[in-house]
Amino acid sequence: MSTTIKELGFVFREPSTRSRSLVARDHETLSPSYTRSYGFVMSHGKGSTVWDVDGNQYLDFAAGIAVLATGHAHPRVVEAVTQQIQKYGHIGATDFFCPQQIALAERLQQITPIHNAANPSDKLVYFGNSGTEAIEAALKLARYQGRQYVIGFYGSFHGRSMGSLSVTASKYVQRAHYTHIPGGVEHVPYPGKHFTERAKQDSYDWGDAVQYIEDVVLKRKLPAYEVAAVLVEPIQGEGGYLTPRDDFFPKLRAMCDRHGILLIVDEIQSGIGRTGKWWGVEHYGVEPDIVCTAKGLGGGLPIGGIIAHRDVMGKWVPGAHASTFGGNPVACAAALATLDVIEEEGLLDHAASLGAYALERLSAFKSAHPSIQRVDGRGLMLGIEFTGPNSEPLAKFRDEIVDLCFANGLITLAAGTSTLRIAPPLVIRRDEFELGLDIIERAISEIEEAHWDSLAQQGQA
């Protein structure tokens, strides 16, 4: 086991002289609003392996927050970026035409399911620079149709700019002190499969989010004809890697159709092969009206966008929405290479296979570990939630597991209140993936052995 040191409020894996020096400089220069997990300072990476500035090696189960679908420094992505930057790095696609942007839009037309779009040409694409910009564009586009209200979900995370923040309901700290967040948003409970099964009552199924929208929101708060859209994550990301109950999306699609409401899916974290399909919503056999994408699309470069039916996006007029850097040619080149790699290396099937293996393995492991409340997810978007003897969330317990994984050479991240997320690059090899799960399981066992008895005694007090 590696030794660690705690300094500047973070755990460092030894040796860490250079890492600690850089973290100290970070404290003197960068905003305290960034959320950092532990003292990892990146030097370089290759595939699913990364090294810190002190030479320590790690397996990467975070992938830059589910960004690096093709891993670190994939040669195809590096080549595409190099070739493009040698030609030109920027043109300003708001005013001129960019071949790389056109080519990427054509690819997204091919792979993105859009409701009532029989042909790829029935879809249009808008490019921005990030996930939050994609959400902003989707909200503006939905409201451009003439209705103004949007329904979102508690636990959701859609970004930190003011429009996307209005539909975000993940952690109170993200909204604290922003008294003028744009209105017109109604939040409802997210029908997470695990806890809605426990929440059913004989008189009323409170886990049925669609029925809740119909019975409470549309009958008592908002007239349906004023609701522009429902915005939802196919798997709730920052909310704790929650999959919804099986009937949720089909019922939601039917409700939206009944009332003429647009269905927007936030695929920023779940899209581009992360769940074993191009888009997470494909697992439910439902086609949305607008798809938001970012993270995994750019191979590590900043890009985001939305795909919508031509009847919806075609209502925009020149100047209605635009971005100076959106669809940057270098980012588009990286995105095209990323899509090529996912297709040609069979990474959709690979992610699905590894995810099925992990769920089976971790579910078996869960049976002997009382701290594990839930093992959830699809493909390589997996979560392990920890709770105490009385089902109370164990955030600090989870954080100790994350720190111990780091000390033993595995980069992981937290999600939700007490969930550990597993989101490695899609290129991760089976043996690497198994090794990462070994490290997680050992860390859970060690922290559970150290703390569970005392937690059980507190629960009985």
**CATH number of the domain that 244 lies in?**
3.40.640.10
Residue 264 belongs to domain spanning: 75-344
pLDDT for the residue numbered 246 = 93
Do 155 and 232 fall within a single domain? yes
Residues whose CB falls within 8 Å of the CB of residue 387, separated by 6 or more in sequence, listed in order: 371, 373, 393, 394, 418
Do 138 and 271 fall within a single domain? yes
Do 80 and 5 fall within a single domain? no
Q: Say if 286 falls within a structural domain.
A: yes
pLDDT for the residue numbered 447 = 97
Q: Is 451 exposed, middle or buried (0-12, 13-18, 19+ CB in 10 A)?
A: middle
Q: 378 and 355 in contact (C-beta within 8 Å)?
A: yes
Helices (H), 213-346: 248-259, 310-313, 329-344
Q: Which two tokens stand for residue 330?
A: 């270098």
Nearest one of 461, 280, 455, 457 to 373, comparing CA atoms: 455
Q: Say if 48 falls within a structural domain.
A: no
pLDDT for the residue numbered 459 = 65
Boundary of a domain, candidates 344, 375, 391: 344
Residues whose CB falls within 8 Å of the CB of residue 16, separated by 6 or more in sequence, listed in order: 5, 39, 52, 54, 56
Q: Say if 106 falls within a structural domain.
A: yes
Boundary of a domain, candidates 329, 344, 359: 344
Residues whose CB falls within 8 Å of the CB of residue 1, separated by 6 or more in sequence, listed in order: 407, 408
Residues whose CB falls within 8 Å of the CB of residue 375, separated by 6 or more in sequence, listed in order: 359, 362, 363, 366, 382, 383, 384, 385
Boundary of a domain, candidates 324, 344, 364: 344
Q: Which two tokens stand for residue 406?
A: 């780091």
Q: Say if 271 falls within a structural domain.
A: yes
Do 19 and 92 fall within a single domain? no
Do 335 and 259 fall within a single domain? yes
Do 103 and 248 fall within a single domain? yes
Count of Cβ atoms closer than 10 Å to residue 138 Cβ:
30
Nearest one of 413, 415, 404 to 439, comparing CA atoms: 404
How far does CA 313 lie from the centroid of its chain? Answer: 24
Virtual torsion, Cα 291, 292, 295, 299, nearest 10 deg: 60
Do 124 and 242 fall within a single domain? yes
How far does CA 319 lie from the centroid of its chain? Answer: 30
Instruction: Provide the 8-state DSSP code for 297.
Output: G
Q: Say if 116 falls within a structural domain.
A: yes
Determine the residue type at 289. Answer: D
Mind listing the pLDDT tens digit for each residue in 159-214? Answer: 888 888 888 887 778 777 777 778 899 999 999 887 655 555 545 566 899 999 99
Q: 72 and 425 in contact (C-beta within 8 Å)?
A: yes
Q: Say if 352 falls within a structural domain.
A: no
Do 172 and 307 fall within a single domain? yes
Q: Which two tokens stand for residue 418?
A: 């007490």
CA distance 274 to 288: 18
Low-confidence ranges of the chain (pLDDT < 70): 1-2, 195-206, 459-461
Do 249 and 334 fall within a single domain? yes
Q: Say if 380 falls within a structural domain.
A: no
Strands 49-52 and 42-46, bridge-based pairing: antiparallel
3-state SS assignment for residue 272: coil
CA distance 94 to 320: 11
Do 30 and 96 fall within a single domain? no
pTM for this model (two decimals): 0.95
Our count of domains for the chain comes to: 2
pLDDT for the residue numbered 234 = 97
Q: Say if 448 falls within a structural domain.
A: no
Do 158 and 10 fall within a single domain? no
Q: How far is CA 83 from CA 5, 26, 80, 198, in A?
A: 43, 33, 5, 54
Do 175 and 35 fall within a single domain? no
Q: Which two tokens stand for residue 259?
A: 């009332």
Kindly report the backbone phi and psi dihedral angles of residue 165, in degrees, each rounded to the nearest multiple of 5, phi listed first. Answer: -65, -30
